[in-house]
Amino acid sequence: MTEETTQQSDEPSVGQLLKAHREQANVSLESLTGPLKLSISQLQRLESDQYQTLGPITFVKGYIKNYCRELHVDSAPILAKLPAPPEPTKPANMQSFSRRTEKEAHDSRLMLVSYIILAIVIGSSALWFWQNATPIDEQTSTINIENSILDNQQNNNALNNESENTSQMQATQAVERTPAVMPISAEQVPLSEAVNATAPIAASTQTATNEPDTQSNTSTINMVFNDESWVEIHDGEGERIAFGVKKAGYKMAVSGTPPFSVVLGKHDVVSVSLNGEPVDISGYPKNRLAKFKLPLAE
**pLDDT tens digits, one per residue of 254-292:** 999 999 999 988 888 899 999 999 998 888 888 888 898
- Residue-wise pLDDT for 73-130, tens only, equals 888 888 887 876 666 555 545 555 567 777 788 888 888 999 999 999 999 999 888 8
Which pLDDT score is estimated for 132? 80
Angle (CA) 259 261 266, round 5°: 135
How many Cβ atoms sit within 10 Å of the Cβ of residue 67?
23
Instruction: Please give the Cα distance from 269 to 284 (Å, whole number).
Output: 12
Exposure of 279 in the CB half-sphere (CA atoms within 13 A): 25
Report the SS3 class of residue 99. helix
Among residues 254, 286, 250, 252, the alpha carbon closest in space to that of 267 is found at 286
Maximum separation of any 2 CA atoms in the chain, in Å: 187
Which of 46-50, 54-58, 139-143, 176-180 shows the lowest mean pLDDT across its residues? 176-180
The DSSP code for 288 is S
Q: Where are the alpha helices (DSSP H) in the chain?
A: 2-10, 14-24, 29-36, 40-47, 57-71, 76-80, 91-132, 136-177, 191-215
| Cβ-Cβ contacts under 8 Å for 289 (sequence gap 6 or more) | 144, 145, 148, 263, 264, 265
d(CA 155, CA 153): 5
pLDDT mean across residues, the chain: 75
Cβ–Cβ under 8 Å, residues 24 and 41: no
Are 264 and 294 in contact by the 8 Å Cβ rule? The answer is no
Distance, CA of 244 to CA of 247 (rounded, Å):
10
Contact 64, 78 (CB under 8 A): yes
Q: Which strands form 219-225's sheet, in the order they lie side by side?
A: 251-256, 219-225, 270-274, 277-279
pLDDT tier at 169 (50, 70, 90 boundaries)? low
- What's the pLDDT tens digit per position in 16-26? 888 888 888 88
> Of 245, 252, 249, which Cα lies nearest the Cα of 273?
252
**So what's the pLDDT on residue 204?**
44
For the stretch 6-17, pLDDT in tens is 445 567 888 888
Using CA atoms, how far apart are residues 147 and 153, in angstroms rounded to an integer?
10
